[in-house]
Chain A
Amino acid sequence: MTTAVETLAPARALPSARPGTIRRRTHPLWFLLPAYGLLLVFFFLPTVFNFVYAFTDWSGFKAEINPVGVENFTQLTSDGTLFRSLRITVVYAVLVAIFQNVFGFGLAVLLERDTTVNRIARTFFLIPVLMSALAVGYIFQALLKSSGLLADTTWTIVVVALIHAWKWMGLSMLIYLAGLKSIPLEVTEAAHIDGASRWRTFWRIRVPLLAPAVTFNVATALLGSMNGFDIVQATTGGGPARTTEILNIFIYRTFGQGLFAQATTMSLVLFLLVALMAFPVVYVLRKREEVL
């Protein structure tokens, strides 16, 4: 096996060498320069700065910036803020991912047939997706203020996650709808001919074939809500008693107080959290796709 591949390899390399040199002229790399220059300056450089200024005493109260080692981290871990914000962020992200996908999937199944009523209904469920998240937050603050649901130290995080899911469920619905449409009719017909009930066909054939849509929806919901801000800020502002203070709320608050180094430290923590969670989440979900 391996020898066959090895003998084939140089034979393949020959014709591909010429198009490679042509590509240099027809698709020059300098086309990448403007985009990657801006990416470097406005995206990668600030990220690198995160790794530097998290270890300084940068603040709004004095001009000079001095290195202080891991003092920001020890301070934020010793008063419990770091793990508390991390825990709240992860809980929020997981809750949003669950709610948004359950709602989106339910809506997609309910509104799957292309009838006039369903088309109108889908349009309405897309309105929240287009609205400003800040506006959504204010609407639910006004709606729920008198009920006390936004003032409970245990359950408010669940309520805010539900609001976040309400805003984005239309997007998940669209993606599940596209997934359902992409399943060839022959597959379900074959199952039907083999004597499978509609219920069984649905759960054993159609739902597993939705794996790519699940991957996309779970990944975007998780990562999007970890990076969330507007909805939490507009509904609770992080309260009550800081029980809904996700990382971006903390960053916003400490930045406003002039504690730039602490804000940077948390920004770095958020970066690491997303980076660390993104790879396993995408990997696991992709693996599931392959198995199916």
Chain B
Amino acid sequence: MSRRLQPVFALLLVAVVIGVPLWLVIATAGKSQGEAVDPDLTPPSEWHLLDNLRQVWTDADIPAALLGSLLIVAPTVAIVLLLGSMAAWVLARRGSRLTAVLYALGISGIILPPAVVTVVLLLRQLGLAGTAVGMIGVYVGIYLSTVVFFVTGFVRTIPESLEEAARIDGAGPFAVFRRVVLPLLRPVLATATILICLYVWNDVFYAFFVIGGRIDTLPLNLFQVASAGLYLNNWHLIFAYVILMSLPLVVVFAVAQRRIISGITSGAVK
């Protein structure tokens, strides 16, 4: 393709492939109920975007769902990163057959699907059914493998001499991990944070089984109101909800775009 045509074509493609669906969200979220019954690409005759956002915020009880999401995402990310990198550090540094087997087991969760039905039974037996603790445990179980995979690969690129210097000064394994290794892991942990936030923040499938009907998260709330109650075919409210739910991710993306891109690609091509 000629150099002059390429930018035109690229922008045209963005406009059609990405612009049209995004415009549908914004236009429909700006319409009145009557206009939005059959969603199409026409602009609203009068913009009601702020009214609609306000209505969803109160009617669907978004503050409660937002709180639920934060209550689950924050501890999940903290636990999965800390325990995952502890394990990954030892797995990367010890070269025995046992650790090789443990590593294979540890990353098998990247591929294997979690047992969503029986996990409900297990949580019931543990007295954790429908609780935030149970949900956090399930997410940690699912995403530990991702952290172990990324961090083990990263630790192998760090020279061990840095640890040895601290060890000669008399630091024990925990002190070495906390003061030397953990700070060095910052780039890979930043990547993992973003990926896991993305997965957990948007998840509706696992949340439905574990905490459905007990604790609301943003996607779960959207799912319930859109498929059954209040919003069935109220497209202007569904899309107002979509806008509100996506805002935090858009902000994160705007701040950390470069990190996200390098993170997503780093594990893949090597």
Chain A positions within 8 Å of B, measured between CB atoms, are 20, 23, 25-29, 31-32, 34-36, 38-39, 41-43, 45-47, 49-50, 52-53, 58, 110-111, 113, 115, 117-118, 120-121, 123-128, 130-135, 138-140, 142-143, 145-146, 166, 171, 174-175, 177-179, 182, 212-213, 216-217, 223, 226-227, 229-230, 233-234, 237, 248, 251-252, 255, 260, 263-264, 267-268, 270-271, 274-275, 278
Contacts and interface: CB of A to CB of B under 8 A. Distances in A.
Interface in B206-250: 208-209, 219, 222-223, 226-227, 235, 238-239, 242, 245-246, 249-250
A117 B144 contact: no
Given A130-B253, A248-B205, A31 B173 contact: yes
Nearest to A113: B6
B138 interface: yes
A160 to B, nearest CB: 15
Interface string B1-17: 10000110111011001
B173 A25 contact: yes
Contact of A34 (B83, B208, B260): B83
Contacts of A270: 113
Given A135-B222, A182-B269, A267-B118, 20 more contacts: A26-B176, A34-B83, A36-B102, A42-B137, A47-B112, A47-B115, A49-B115, A49-B122, A125-B18, A143-B24, A174-B261, A212-B270, A213-B268, A229-B204, A229-B205, A252-B205, A255-B117, A260-B117, A267-B116, A270-B113
Nearest to A128: B18
Nearest to A25: B173
Contacts of B39: 142-143, 145
A125 B10 CA distance: 11
Contacts of A223: 111
Closest 4 CB pairs of A and B: A42-B141, A49-B118, A43-B141, A35-B87
A36 B84 CA distance: 9
A134 B224 CA distance: 11
Interface in B33-74: 38-40
Interface residues of B, number: 89
A271 B208 contact: no
B96 A142 contact: no
Interface of B: 1, 6-7, 9-11, 13-14, 17-22, 24-25, 28, 38-40, 79, 83-84, 86-87, 89-91, 93-94, 96, 102, 105-106, 109, 111-119, 121-122, 126, 137-138, 140-142, 144-145, 148, 163, 167, 173, 176-177, 198, 201-202, 204-205, 208-209, 219, 222-223, 226-227, 235, 238-239, 242, 245-246, 249-250, 253, 257, 260-261, 264-265, 268-270
A121 B141 contact: no
Contact of A178 (B40, B96, B176, B268): B268
Given A131-B246, A138-B226, A32 B91 contact: yes
